[in-house]
Amino acid sequence: MKNLVNSEPSNTASQFAELSLAQAVRAMNEVEFSAQAYAEALLRKAREQADLKAFITIDDEAVIAAASAADRARSAGASGPLLGVPLGVKDSYLTNGLRTTLGVSNLKDFVPAHDAGVISAVKDAGAIVFGKNNLVEMSFGLTGDNSPFGQVKNPHARERISGGSSSGSAAAVAAGIVPAAFGGDTIGSIRVPASLCGVVGFKPTTGRWPRDGVAPISHALDTTGVFARSVEDCELIDQVVTRASPSTTSEEGDLKGVRFAYAPKQYLDVVDTDVEARFYEVTRRLRDAGAEVVEIDLGDEFSTLANSTTWNLFFRETREAVAGFLQENGVPTSFDEIYRDLKSGLKEVWQHLVLPTGAQWLTPDAYHNALTADRPKIQRLFIEAFAKSGAEALILPTTPCPAPEIGKENEFLIAGKQVTFAALANNTIPASGAGLPGISIPMGKVSTDLPIGIEIDAPADSDLRLLTLARRVEALGISSL
């Protein structure tokens, strides 16, 4: 890497923006540049890209002070896997001393007194909270639209959505403002924007990462996770967050001996033709690298069961989860106050599906059935598919299309079929319903010159193996297809 210590600021801002998290750590450890120079360059980048609306809050002085402290610590012999690296944080995470809004107007002045568990872990490893990323209000949506704090725009095309709900986190990484950013995923809120913004998005097995101090939607489905520029970055963050010992093994090279499965009836039924073509080009690359790629069928009821069960849990658990979070963490508002101030479309959804008085509120018996019968059935279907096929992982297009235009996300076409933004999560929902780990990695751009992702899902609790496989797939160069 070119030494950046004495480079011109305009040059360093551009070069810093291209660094992955792991590259930045290595460069600072080798004294190629200081944490303060890095932070200052990224702050300039954030100001230049303010129109993206990727951040709600950035405390410039606090970022510079933390970076300077990291430099002093390093000079004194301190080390840490993330020492001096600025990270974006979805504004659903509590951050000690830094405003946390959850994306709603009635928390515009709330400053927490403690950090979410994930933030505590990365701070202990030396990371710096760069700022709080914009999000859909209460993480309820897939488009990146936020009434109080603005519509997050796609860095690849400002007239396109970023995806959501972790919209600002994905956009900030894609725009080169931060090397990595935290998000949350309940039905696809990490993987969808990762696909639409052309970055890596990792959703761990549900329950693997801490969720304390993060505004919830569904206890059954929620997981914290991360956006980054490479799978290696996700591996490093996963190691820090889970406080695991560094891996002593590293598999490289081709994919001989690896078997992937794909399920066209369930995941390729309604996708754009150029997305499908790109997906099959990736499967060809996998085979050329020595992998087996086998076709499977998850069954006629799979997609309907996964969609209905996951959405049912999503809506049914929201009220109790949010109310409990606010009370447990001393957040100075209530569920009712948040509901009162929601934008009209979202308020209507909550009225019908989230409130016990709503016409579509799930009855206690139906909720019990979804949680104790339907969800385990989805999990069994995955377990049986992996066992029968002998596959280590399932591959699929993360989203069925590239990013729709802003303002048209409620009425657009996928493969000639009129859909709404909910269709963006069609392929991510099953892994969420089953609690499986999943990662979206870029697989180039389609005919509209917009990015698209390929998702790799693996059996529950096989996160480390999933990350290894994803790194080996990434090494095939599919992001430049």
Sequence letter at residue 424: L
Among candidate residues 386, 198, 162, the one with its CA nearest the CA of residue 296: 386
User: Counting Cβ atoms within 10 Å, is residue 417 exposed (0-12), middle (13-18) or buried (19+)?
Assistant: exposed
Tokens of 363: 């009855």
Tokens of 35: 């944490």
Tokens of 272: 């754009």
Among candidate residues 68, 110, 90, the one with its CA nearest the CA of residue 227: 90
165 counts as catalytic = yes
Buried b / exposed e along 39-55 (16+ C-beta atoms within 10 A): bbbbbbbbeebeebbbb
d(Cα 275, Cα 270) in Å, to the nearest integer?
A: 10
* Catalytically annotated residue among 53, 90, 132, 445: 90
Measure Cα distances from 193 to 166, 187, 251, 290, 451 in Å: 7, 12, 28, 30, 10
Sequence letter at residue 344: S
d(Cα 170, Cα 138) in Å, to the nearest integer?
A: 17
* Catalytically annotated residue among 20, 162, 165, 230: 165
Look-up of token digits 């990434």: 474
d(Cα 145, Cα 343) in Å, to the nearest integer?
A: 10
Tell me, what DSSP letter sits at residue 361? P
SS3 34: coil
Rg (CA), the chain: 21
Sequence letter at residue 68: S
Helices (H), 397-462: 429-434
Buried b / exposed e along 282-305 (16+ C-beta atoms within 10 A): bbebbeebebbbeebebeeebbeb
Look-up of token digits 């080390």: 79
Look-up of token digits 């002070």: 65
β-pairing verdict for 393-397 and 259-262: parallel
Q: How far is CA 10 from the centre of its chain?
A: 30
* Catalytically annotated residue among 139, 167, 169, 189: 189
Helix (H) or strand (E) holding 91: none
Return the active site residues: 90, 165, 189
